[in-house]
A and B are shown apart, each in its own frame.
Chain A
Amino acid sequence: VKVALEIIEGLALDGQQAFSLAELEAMSGLTLDELQLLVECQALFPLAQVEAAADQEPAQPRFSAQCLVLARIAARLRKDFDLDANATMVTLQLLKRIQDLENEVLALRAQLPSRVQ
Chain B
Amino acid sequence: MVRLACAAGTALMKYKDYYQTLGVERSASAADIKKAYRKLAHKYHPDISKLANAKEKFQEIGEAYETLKDPEKRAAYDELGSDFHAGQDFRPPPDWGAAHGEQYAAFDDMDLADLFASLSGGRHRAHAGRGHSGHFPIPGQDYEIAADITLEQAAGGTEFEVNLAVPEPGDDGYMRRVPRKFKARIAKGASEGQRLRLPGKGGKGLNGGRDGDLYLIIHLLPHRLFRASGHDLYIDLPLTPWEAALGATVQVPTLHGAVHLKVPAGTRSGQKLRLAKRGLPNPREGIGDLYAIAQIVLPAELSEHERKLLQQMAQGSTYDPRKHFREMAA
Cβ-based interface call for A77 (8 A): yes
Cβ-based interface call for B213 (8 A): yes
CB distance from B15 to the nearest CB of A (A): 25
Please give, as numbers and ranges, the residues of chain B lying within 8 Å of A103 by CB-CB distance.
Answer: 193
CB distance from A16 to the nearest CB of B (A): 7
Q: A5-B182, A95-B47 are in contact. Are A12 and B229 (CB under 8 A)?
A: no
Cβ-based interface call for B185 (8 A): yes
Interface string of B186-216 (1 = CB under 8 A from A): 1100101111111101000000001001011
Chain B residue nearest in CB terms to A6: B182
A106 touches B284 (CB 8 A): no
| Interface footprint category on A | 20 to 34
Cβ-based interface call for B289 (8 A): no
Report the separation of the CA atoms of residues A5 and B179 in the bound assembly, to the nearest whole angstrom: 13
Select which of A8, A81, A107, A113 is within 8 A of B198 by beta carbon: A8
Chain B residue nearest in CB terms to A12: B196
| Interface footprint category on B | 35 or more
Chain A residue nearest in CB terms to B189: A12
B230 touches A13 (CB 8 A): no
B47 touches A10 (CB 8 A): no
Cβ-based interface call for A97 (8 A): no
Cβ-based interface call for B89 (8 A): no
Q: A80-B41, A106-B229, A111-B293 are in contact. Are A13 and B197 (CB under 8 A)?
A: yes
Report the separation of the CA atoms of residues A12 and B295 in the bound assembly, to the nearest whole angstrom: 37
* A-B contacts at CB below 8 angstroms, number: 95
Report the separation of the CA atoms of residues A26 and B140 in the bound assembly, to the nearest whole angstrom: 11
Cβ-based interface call for B11 (8 A): no
A12 touches B182 (CB 8 A): no
B283 touches A5 (CB 8 A): no
Interface string of A1-34 (1 = CB under 8 A from B): 0000111111111111000000000110100000
Please give, as numbers and ranges, the residues of chain A lying within 8 Å of B185 by CB-CB distance.
Answer: 7-10
B227 touches A109 (CB 8 A): yes
A27 touches B213 (CB 8 A): yes
Please give, as numbers and ranges, the residues of chain B lying within 8 Å of A73 by CB-CB distance.
Answer: 47
Report the separation of the CA atoms of residues A114 and B159 in the bound assembly, to the nearest whole angstrom: 30
Interface string of B115-128 (1 = CB under 8 A from A): 00000000000000
Cβ-based interface call for B277 (8 A): no
Interface string of A79-117 (1 = CB under 8 A from B): 011000000000000010000000100110111011100
Cβ-based interface call for B291 (8 A): yes
Select which of B183, B184, B229, B293 is within 8 A of A107 by beta carbon: B229
Please give, as numbers and ranges, the residues of chain A lying within 8 Å of B159 by CB-CB distance.
Answer: 7
Listed in ascending order, the chain A residues whose CB lies under 8 Å from chain B are: 5-16, 26-27, 29, 65, 69, 72-73, 76-77, 80-81, 95, 103, 106-107, 109-111, 113-115
Subset of 11 A-B contacts with CB under 8 Å: A5-B161, A7-B185, A10-B184, A10-B197, A12-B194, A12-B283, A14-B284, A26-B210, A81-B38, A95-B47, A103-B193
- Known A81-B42, A111-B234; further 12 A-B contacts with Cβ < 8 A: A8-B184, A8-B198, A77-B47, A80-B62, A81-B38, A103-B193, A106-B229, A113-B236, A113-B293, A113-B295, A115-B236, A115-B295
Listed in ascending order, the chain B residues whose CB lies under 8 Å from chain A are: 38, 41-42, 45, 47-48, 58, 62, 142, 159, 161, 181-187, 190, 192-199, 201, 210, 213, 215-216, 227-230, 232, 234, 236, 270, 272, 283-284, 291, 293, 295
